[in-house]
């Protein structure tokens, strides 16, 4: 049972800060020192299903701040301007009374490589592993609220805390490294030895004094497998990603046209990418840890033609309680058009012709035109006619340009 009441020193700015009240006296077994409380917290976190639990001091992260500023200054954030809008390096900007940050790792599904075709021959798109189950934001927030409520009872005093998952302005990976949850890999992923990197992070910023955990000393060594395997060459160097080239950014964050030169490297991926994790030796065990984010069959393999032709009610059904809702319907359709263009399968042509002629979104029509050019081996007279009509009469200059280019590919 969670007992909480909204509070915080600035209720308007800290709407998400909660005050948890103990449900009774603290258990005698818990020593009321930062170390004693931290030990009890870690045991509790494990009981709730977190694979790792660690503590960092709630202090400014100056080195990470400089890295974030360099990342933004280089333009690597692309359209994610929210990353520079408010400071992200100081947990105390989320809770002025903060003393400690509890960082947790919640594993998601690991296996399930998606085949290119289903057993009955349908063309399939792949969704990144973290998004194949329930929406991790809600699951993690619920577990963090439970953790905070029980921490209040363990400590025998009211607890101010703010739960963060992804969206709060906080450098979660840096905090995870400081809290000894894992070490920063050259891929940018936080890697926990014995677990790998297939997990999501969540934090409780709290006013409780806890014992900071030790950082993990091991690292990547001479390995650089992720840097070499990235399909779009998104790494500028070890630890530094140009997000504008990352398939996760292109398929989930960006609502703009996907740069032409990157489209074929996206392959069948319609939501995110796991390549830099698939090649990582720390993920080689293939062990499937217990998780409340277990993959659902309907999110693991998406029928690309169905996705391209999805209506708004189908979209609402698909993204309900799923991290997929981060991408709009037209973004998912754009991604499906690109994946169909990469399929080298004649069955992709008629749905793409329909999308070019009929889809209300210019973004989708433009990518369908590109995909028809990419499938030139399978183009028919109808393909040529649909492209010619789009090149001369489509209302949108982006679609006319893509159709003209595709006609050039067919001709040449
Ligand atoms: C914006 C964002 C993205 C962007 C940009 C990613 C990036 N690398 O910056 C895009 C859309 C591309 C993205 C992709 C993915 N993301 Co993302 N993303 C975020 C978000 C919201 C902010 C990240 C950020 O601030 N980036 C700015 C850069 C500068 O900082 P950073 O990468 O966080 O921090 C590291 C670097 O600074 C690095 N570093 C930089 N220079 C140097 C130099 C040295 C010497 C060292 C040691 C380290 C180092 O060290 C920091 C700590 O590791 C976080 C949630 C959050 N609030 O933090 C999730 C988050 C990082 N994403 C996550 C996930 C799961 C993914 C994907 C795997 C999803 C997918 N399967 O498609 C991919 C992975 C791509 C990759 N290789 O990074 C998880 C990562 C969990 C983990 N185990 O690490 C997070 C933490 C979300 C969560 N709550 O779990 N993401
Ligand atoms: S998620 Fe994919 S595209 Fe992005 S950095 Fe990793 S391998 Fe490259
Ligand atoms: S693939 Fe190698 S270099 Fe990349 S994160 Fe894993 S261990 Fe580090």
Model confidence at 193: pLDDT above 90? yes
The pTM score is 0.95
Determine the residue of 190, 280, 283, 284 to mutate for testing ligand 3's pocket, defined as the one with the most ligand atoms within 8 A of the Cβ atom: 280
Q: Which atom of ligand 1 lies at the shortest distance from residue 192's CA?
A: 83
For residues 25 and 347, give the distance between their C-alpha atoms in angstroms, rounded to a whole number: 67
Determine the residue of 110, 172, 276 to mutate for testing ligand 1's pocket, defined as the one with the most ligand atoms within 8 A of the Cβ atom: 172
- Opening angle at CA 316, ends 310 and 318, nearest 5: 70
Share of the chain above pLDDT 90, in %: 89
Q: Which atom of ligand 1 lies at the shortest distance from residue 182's CA?
A: 83
CA-nearest residue for atom 7, ligand 3, is 220
Q: Which atom of ligand 3 lies at the shortest distance from residue 185's CA?
A: 5
User: How remote is the CA of residue 325 from the centroid of ligand 1, in Å?
Assistant: 19
Question: Mean pLDDT throughout 320-327?
Answer: 96
For residue 15, name the pLDDT band (cuts at 50, 70, 90).
Answer: low
**pLDDT tens digits, 357-377:** 999 999 999 999 999 999 999
Higher pLDDT among residues 411 and 6, named by residue: 411
Q: Are 283 and 198 in contact (CB under 8 A)?
A: yes
**pLDDT tens digits, 64-79:** 999 999 999 999 999 9
**pLDDT tens digits, 197-209:** 999 999 999 999 9
User: How remote is the CA of residue 278 from the centroid of ligand 3, in Å?
Assistant: 10
Q: Assess whether the C-beta atom of 308 lies below 6 angstroms from ligand 2.
A: no
For residues 184 and 238, give the distance between their C-alpha atoms in angstroms, rounded to a whole number: 10
Q: What is the pLDDT of residue 143?
A: 98
Among 9-13, 74-78, 122-126, 271-275, the minimum mean pLDDT is found in 9-13
Q: Assess whether the C-beta atom of 280 lies below 6 angstroms from ligand 1.
A: no
User: How remote is the CA of residue 129 from the centroid of ligand 3, in Å?
Assistant: 18
Model confidence at 245: pLDDT above 50? yes
Model confidence at 113: pLDDT above 90? no
Q: Which atom of ligand 2 lies at the shortest distance from residue 229's CA?
A: 7
Determine the residue of 173, 220, 274 to mutate for testing ligand 1's pocket, defined as the one with the most ligand atoms within 8 A of the Cβ atom: 173
User: How remote is the CA of residue 277 from the centroid of ligand 1, in Å?
Assistant: 13
213 phi, psi to nearest 5 deg? -85, 160
Point out the residues that are catalytic: 166
Q: Assess whether the C-beta atom of 190 lies below 6 angstroms from ligand 1.
A: yes
Among 61-75, 115-129, 396-410, the minimum mean pLDDT is found in 115-129
Model confidence at 1: pLDDT above 60? no
As beta bridge partners, residue 4 has 20
Look at residues 48, 14, 15, 34 and name the one whose alpha carbon lies nearest to residue 148. Answer: 48
Question: Mean pLDDT throughout 316-324?
Answer: 96
User: How remote is the CA of residue 288 from the centroid of ligand 3, in Å?
Assistant: 20
Number of the ligand closest to the Cα of 169: 1
CA-nearest residue for atom 1, ligand 2, is 273
Q: What is the pLDDT of residue 13?
A: 41
Question: Mean pLDDT throughout 233-239?
Answer: 98
Determine the residue of 130, 187, 254 to mutate for testing ligand 2's pocket, defined as the one with the most ligand atoms within 8 A of the Cβ atom: 187
Q: What is the pLDDT of residue 238?
A: 98
**pLDDT tens digits, 253-282:** 999 999 999 999 999 999 999 999 999 999
Model confidence at 2: pLDDT above 80? no
For residue 300, name the pLDDT band (cuts at 50, 70, 90).
Answer: confident
Q: Assess whether the C-beta atom of 80 lies below 6 angstroms from ligand 1.
A: yes
Question: Mean pLDDT throughout 157-165?
Answer: 96
Per residue, what are the HEC states of the chain? CCCEEECCCCCCCCCCEEEECCCCCCCCCCCCCHHHHHHHHHHHHHHCCCCEEEEEECCCCHHHHHHHHHHHHCCCCCCCCHHHHCCCCCHHHCCCCCCEEEEEEEECCCCCCCCCECCCCCEEEEECHHHCCCCHHHHHHHHHHHHHHHHHHHHCCCEEEEEECCCCCCCHHHHHHHCCCCEECCCCCEEECCCECCEEEEEEEECCCCCCCCCCCCCCCCCCHHHHHCCCCCEEECCEECHHHCHHHHHHHCCCCCCHHHHHHHCCEEECCCHHHHCCHHHCCCCCCCCCCCCCHHHHEEEHHHHHCCCHHHHHHHHCCCHHHHCCHHHHHHHHHHHHHCCCCHHHHHHHHHHHHHCCCHHHHHHHHHHHHHCHHHCCHHHHHHHHHHHHHCCCHHHHHHHHHHHHHHHC
Question: Mean pLDDT throughout 129-156?
Answer: 96
Q: What is the pLDDT of residue 88?
A: 95
Model confidence at 7: pLDDT above 80? no
Residues within 6 Å of ligand 3 by CB? 185-187, 220, 223-226, 279-282
Give buried/exposed letters for 7-30 (b at 16+ CB in 10 A, else e): ebeeeeebebbbbbebeeebeeeb
Q: What is the pLDDT of residue 5?
A: 34
Model confidence at 389: pLDDT above 80? yes
Question: Mean pLDDT throughout 88-92?
Answer: 96
Q: Which atom of ligand 3 lies at the shortest distance from residue 187's CA?
A: 5
Question: Mean pLDDT throughout 392-406?
Answer: 98
Q: What is the pLDDT of residue 93?
A: 96
Round the average pLDDT of the chain to a whole number and report it: 94
Q: What is the pLDDT of residue 11?
A: 39
User: How remote is the CA of residue 369 from the centroid of ligand 3, in Å?
Assistant: 37
């Amino acid at each position: 049972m969670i007992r909480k009441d909204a509070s915080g020193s600035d209720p308007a700015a800290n709407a998400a800060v909660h005050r948890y009240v103990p449900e009774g006296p603290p258990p005698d077994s818990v020593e009321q020192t930062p170390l004693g409380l931290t030990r009890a917290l870690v045991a509790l976190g494990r009981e709730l299903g977190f694979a790792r639990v660690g503590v960092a001091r709630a202090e400014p992260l100056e080195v990470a701040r400089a890295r974030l500023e360099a990342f933004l200054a280089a333009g690597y954030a692309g359209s994610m301007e929210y990353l520079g809008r408010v400071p992200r390096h100081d947990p105390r900007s989320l809770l002025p009374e903060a003393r400690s940050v509890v960082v947790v790792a919640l594993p998601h599904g690991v296996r399930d490589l998606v085949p290119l075709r289903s057993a009955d021959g349908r063309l399939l798109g792949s969704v990144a592993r973290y998004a194949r189950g329930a929406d991790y934001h809600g699951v993690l927030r619920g577990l963090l609220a439970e953790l905070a409520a029980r921490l209040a009872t363990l400590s025998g005093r009211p607890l101010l805390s703010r739960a963060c998952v992804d969206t709060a302005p906080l450098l979660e990976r840096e905090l995870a490294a400081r809290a000894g949850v894992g070490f920063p890999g050259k891929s940018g992923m936080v890697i926990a030895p014995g677990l790998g990197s297939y997990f999501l992070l969540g934090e409780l910023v709290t006013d409780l004094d806890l014992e900071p955990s030790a950082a993990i000393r091991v690292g990547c060594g001479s390995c650089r497998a992720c840097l070499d395997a990235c399909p779009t060459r998104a790494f500028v160097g070890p630890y530094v990603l140009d997000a504008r080239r990352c398939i996760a950014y292109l398929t989930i964050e960006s609502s703009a046209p996907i740069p032409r030169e990157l489209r074929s490297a996206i392959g069948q991926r319609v939501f995110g990418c796991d390549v830099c994790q698939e090649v990582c030796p720390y993920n080689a065990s293939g062990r499937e840890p217990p998780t409340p984010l277990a993959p659902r069959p309907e999110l693991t393999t998406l029928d690309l033609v169905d996705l391209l032709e999805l209506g708004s009610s189908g979209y609402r059904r698909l993204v309900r309680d799923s991290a997929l809702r981060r991408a709009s319907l037209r973004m998912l359709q754009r991604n499906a058009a690109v994946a169909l263009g990469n399929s080298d399968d004649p069955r992709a042509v008629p749905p793409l012709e329909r999308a070019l002629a009929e889809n209300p979104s210019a973004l989708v029509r433009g990518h369908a035109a590109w995909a028809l050019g990419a499938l030139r081996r399978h183009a028919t007279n109808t393909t040529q006619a649909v492209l010619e009509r789009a090149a001369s009469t489509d209302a949108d200059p982006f679609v006319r340009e893509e159709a003209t280019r595709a006609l050039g590919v067919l001709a040449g």
